[in-house]
A and B are shown apart, each in its own frame.
Chain A
Amino acid sequence: AQTVTQSQPEMSVQEAETVTLSCTYDTSENNYYLFWYKQPPSRQMILVIRQEAYKQQNATENRFSVNFQKAAKSFSLKISDSQLGDTAMYFCAPGTYGGSQGNLIFGKGTKLSVKP
Chain B
Amino acid sequence: SQTIHQWPATLVQPVGSPLSLECTVEGTSNPNLYWYRQAAGRGLQLLFYSVGIGQISSEVPQNLSASRPQDRQFILSSKKLLLSDSGFYLCAWSRRRAGELFFGEGSRLTVL
A residues adjacent to B (C-beta < 8 A) = 32-33, 35, 37, 43-47, 50, 91, 93, 95-97, 99-109
Contacts and interface: CB of A to CB of B under 8 A. Distances in A.
Contacts of B57: 101
B88 A95 contact: no
A-B pairs with lowest CB-CB distance, top 8: A102-B97, A95-B98, A45-B103, A108-B43, A106-B44, A102-B98, A106-B43, A43-B106
Nearest to B105: A44
19 contacts: A33-B99, A37-B101, A45-B90, A45-B92, A45-B101, A47-B100, A91-B44, A95-B99, A96-B98, A97-B98, A100-B46, A101-B97, A102-B97, A103-B34, A103-B97, A104-B98, A105-B46, A106-B43, A108-B42
Given A102-B98, A107-B43, 6 more contacts: A44-B106, A45-B101, A47-B100, A47-B102, A95-B97, A106-B36
Nearest to A33: B98
Given A101-B49, A103-B49, A32 B42 contact: no
Interface of B: 34, 36, 42-44, 46, 49, 57, 59, 88, 90, 92, 97-106, 108
B44 to A, nearest CB: 4
A101 B105 CA distance: 25
A110 B101 CA distance: 19
Nearest to B32: A103
B97 A33 contact: no
Nearest to A102: B97
Contacts of B101: 35, 37, 45, 47, 93, 104
Contacts of B36: 106
A37 B106 CA distance: 15
Contact of A103 (B42, B46, B90): B46
